[in-house]
Amino acid sequence: MRPFPLVLKAGLLAGTLDIIAAILVYGYIISHAPALRILQTVASGVYGSKAFAGGWAMAIQGLLFHYLIAIAWAGVFLLLWQLLPGIRRNWVLTGIGFGVLVWAVMNLLVLPVSGAMPTVLTVKGVLVSMLIVVLCVGLPVAAVFGR
């Protein structure tokens, strides 16, 4: 398969799994936030607190941003896949490592400089969000490339 379709497939898969997990975990288990609020939170990375007054139009933009980010991460994975042939030996371990990398870059570098509301990192919060990213982004992206 050509690189662009692989990146698109991996990004759309990861984006879909990740947003479903976020809505289920944060919407029903942890904080009971509605899907609208979760998607607006994604949009707040660009629009700041204005995102929460934008209704479903802003939530849809948040969903689009979410998919763009997931596709971009799949593109990063493609670069790593091409530059570091050793990661091809075990796509499961690679996917776990990639998920941890994605979590760290997003939570420690990107989100703090975005317009999103600052969050306090707790052990429970880190473990839950990292598990979601590993299971829904890292492993699926690595599986698409590894198979």
User: Quick check: 1 pLDDT over 70?
Assistant: no
Tens digit of pLDDT for each residue in 52-96?
A: 999 999 999 999 999 999 999 999 999 999 999 999 999 999 999
Radius of gyration of the chain from its Cα atoms, rounded to whole angstroms: 15
pTM value > 0.85: yes
Tens digit of pLDDT for each residue in 113-132?
A: 998 988 889 999 999 999 99
Residue 4 — pLDDT band, cuts 50, 70, 90? very high
- For residue 20, give the amino acid letter: I
Judged by DSSP in three states, 141 sits in helix
Number of domains in the chain: 1
Question: Could you list the residue range(s) of the whole structural domain that residue 32 is in?
Answer: 3-146
Give residue 31's pLDDT.
86
